[in-house]
Amino acid sequence: MPDTVTTTDTDHAKLTDLNTHYIRAVAQSDVAWFDANLSADFLNTNPDGTQIDRAAFLAQIGRPSAVPDLTCSDVNIRRFGDTAIIHARTGFTRADGAPGAGRYTDIWSRIGGRWLCVAAHVTRI
């Protein structure tokens, strides 16, 4: 198992910014942001356990957000060379108005000099 590589200030700042925009783009159904920041072979695991490819994810994002008031906290960014894993907690409002929570893991890879998201996994609590 590789040791975690200390993230440079520049990498950490970039990955923090990408994570912030990822959450914003989910909340705002911003397909264009995802189109620009997902790898060609991106896969997403939804809270119900289904796994979808890039095209299906973009179509899913294009619908109005199912998680109003989406926030994230407890963000943990780890880098392993040209791969980074971001774990975080989410908060949102459920359809019935009750508070909801979850966790996500996003995997980023430096491809062609840019960080692109290659996989994501979402869990709702």
Which CATH number does the domain housing residue 46 bear? Answer: 3.10.450.50
The tally of domains found in the chain comes to: 1
H-run or E-run covering 8: none
Residue 124 confidence (pLDDT): 94
Sheet holding 99-111, edge to edge: 51-53, 38-45, 114-124, 99-111, 83-93, 71-80
Residue 4 lies in a domain: no
pLDDT digits (tens, 9 = 90+) for 1-25: 444 444 468 999 999 999 999 999 9
Residue 21's domain comprises 9-124
Residue 3 lies in a domain: no
Residue 30 lies in a domain: yes
Q: pTM higher than 0.95, yes or no?
A: no
Residue 67 lies in a domain: yes
pLDDT digits (tens, 9 = 90+) for 51-76: 999 999 999 999 988 887 999 999 99
Residue 87 lies in a domain: yes
